[in-house]
Amino acid sequence: MIVEERIYRMKPGKAPEYIKGYAQEGLAIQRPILGNLVGYYATEIGELNLVVHLWAYEDMADRAARRARLSADPRWQAYLPKVSSFVEHQQNRILNPAPFFEPMLRAMLAANPA
């Protein structure tokens, strides 16, 4: 199992608007396709204007297949222009859960399926 961490630095003051738009439209498109949303956060202390989300996948092949389906979805293609102007920078990382945490993560995901 892997977890993708996606960090978006928003233009100053735009994070609340971005999150609101995502909650109203983006989440309903993205979650059924990507599946395992582990968390969605905004920074309060430290570097501000960051929106961070975490998605779990079985492996890199699962991630690639799901991301390709999302990119091809016409609803997602229509949504992106509505929010892309808020984003200044994007950073992605692939995280490997510690051996003791992977069973806990799987249990959390099973309790809250997409």
Question: Using CA atoms in the order 85, 11, 92, 31, what is the torsion angle rounded to 10 degrees?
Answer: -60
CB-based burial of residue 57 (10 Å sphere; 0-12 exposed, 13-18 middle, 19+ buried)?
buried
Average pLDDT, the chain: 96
What is the pLDDT at residue 93?
Answer: 98
pLDDT, tens only, 60-85: 999 999 999 999 999 999 999 999 99
Number of structural domains in the chain: 1
CATH code of the domain covering residue 35: 3.30.70.100
Residues 6+ away with beta carbon under 8 Å from 49? 9, 10, 11, 12, 13, 14, 15, 43, 88
Domain that holds residue 104: 2-111
Rounded to two decimals, the pTM is 0.91
Where residue 112 falls among pLDDT bands split at 50, 70, 90?
confident
Gap between the Cα atoms of 17 and 112, Å rounded: 26
